[in-house]
Amino acid sequence: MRKLIALMLSLILTLGAMSALATDKALVEDAQKLTHEELVEKAKAEEGTFIVYGNTSRITTALEQFCALYDITGEGNNLKDAEIYTKLEIEIDSSAKGADMVMIQDGASLEFLIENGYLLNYLPPSVAANVDAADQNPLVHQFINKVFIYNNQGDDVPAIKNVWELTEEKMKDRVLFKNPESEQVNMNFLVMLTNEEWSARLAEAYEAHFGKPIELGEYKNAGYMWIAQFLSNCVFGSSDTTLAEEISQPTAAGKIGLFVLSKLRSSSVLTENLTVGEYDAQKNAYTIQPFSGFMYPMYALVSSGATRPYTAMLFIDYLMNADGFQPWGKSVGAYSANSALVPLEGDLGIDVWKNTLVSEDPAYILTAYEDVSTFVTKYVK
């Protein structure tokens, strides 16, 4: 996928497309100077259907509310990451009408399109002061977390306190995880565990759990070793929704999963049968060592192929504020990059989560992806 993107971008650039894209970038930069009222006026002057791609089901709800507010005709498309990237490549290459704006994850793949001007960054002035500098370009709309959640029924409840417990023989086929070969953020998570920081922390956690220093044998570092043994115990699912539903059933006693926390909002998930990690109220953090899961950004960007670029920027402004974030903010597991919007009552703050979760580093993922993904393939059945 990444090689295909790079090849297509290289071909487009040699055909001289870069000059056309530069105009779009200038338009977005100039729009930063507009007042909200001026942006609304320019958006309403645009014609045609406003098209949005997003890999979150709640994008359509947000779009419907936005279109009703501004009397705009819109079309929301809930697609997988790979589908969004493929459609963007084809549409921009052929100048066909497609997405005006996208919400997408997987920062490593995103860099290919951003660096070559095919996705453009717009930071709404209304929220600029409330968004950390590191989250402004590309603009992070929200952070999402996948955490260890276990079935609390029966006599063998897997209330783990160390991730190495998940590698033991007794956990064989009791660990649920979406297949990393079809879920890019899961693959990115595994890649991150092989970097210097997390492999060192995993080595320390190994010694704390087993009472002896880690012996790597054939493995490059503790990250590779944990990945191999963790995946060997996993049962792989096709979606986080189905994993949440399955693990919440009374018949799933003794099982644990690593999936999106916000899936607990679904009426089909029996939340009374589930416990989220091990929580220490005094420390205000989950106590699974050395991590309780992972967190990744969802980005909001303008397509360089947009025929309604001002509408795209107005929608991004809407999404970054309270009304636009409401479809996500009404449940646990969604954390706006706008610090003025606090998580749902009962959930932890994003600062606490960031201290207990693995976070994406797109630059590292790009350098290590090929090696780690090849390694992971050996353990995915």
Residue range 327-365, pLDDT digits in tens: 999 999 999 999 999 999 888 888 889 889 999 999 999
Percent of the chain past pLDDT 70, that is, above it, reads 94
Query: Which ranges in the chain are annotated with CATH 3.40.190.10?
Result: 2-142+296-348, 145-294+366-377
Q: Which residues have C-beta within 8 Å of that of residue 155, sequence separation ≥ 6?
A: none
The first and second tokens of residue 38, run together, are: 């001026």
Between 319 and 286, the higher pLDDT residue: 319
Report CA-CA distances (Å) from 208 to 161, 211, 229, 262.
Answer: 11, 6, 17, 31
Question: Tens digits of per-residue pLDDT, 255-291?
Answer: 999 999 999 999 999 999 999 998 777 777 778 999 9
* CA-only gyration radius of the chain, Å: 22
Distance (Å, whole) CA 315 – CA 353: 28
Q: What is the mean pLDDT of residues 306-316?
A: 97
- Give domain 145-294+366-377's CATH number out of 3.40.640.10, 1.20.1600.10, 3.40.1280.10, 3.40.190.10: 3.40.190.10
Contact 323, 165 (CB under 8 A): no
Residue 7 banded pLDDT, cuts 50, 70, 90: very low
In CATH, the number for domain 2-142+296-348 is: 3.40.190.10
H-run or E-run covering 103: strand 101-104
Q: Long-range CB contacts (< 8 A, 24+ apart) of 182-185?
A: 182/238, 184/81, 184/82, 184/105, 184/106, 184/109, 185/105, 185/106, 185/146, 185/294, 185/296, 185/360
Q: What is the pLDDT of residue 289?
A: 96
Residue 144 banded pLDDT, cuts 50, 70, 90: very high
Please tell me whether the peptide bond between 343 and the residue prior to it is cis, using omega within 30 degrees of 0: no
Q: Which residues have C-beta within 8 Å of that of residue 121, sequence separation ≥ 6?
A: 28, 114, 136, 137, 138, 139, 301, 302
Length of the chain: 381
H-run or E-run covering 177: strand 175-178
Place of tokens 């539903």: 245
Q: Which residues have C-beta within 8 Å of that of residue 318, sequence separation ≥ 6?
A: 62, 66, 69, 324
Distance (Å, whole) CA 21 – CA 17: 7
Q: What is the phi/psi pair of residue 259, to 5°?
A: -150, 175
Kindly state the DSSP code that residue 139 receives in the 8-state scheme: B
Place of tokens 């950004």: 297
Longest Cα–Cα distance in the chain: 68
First to last CA, the chain: 21
Kindly state the DSSP code that residue 310 receives in the 8-state scheme: H
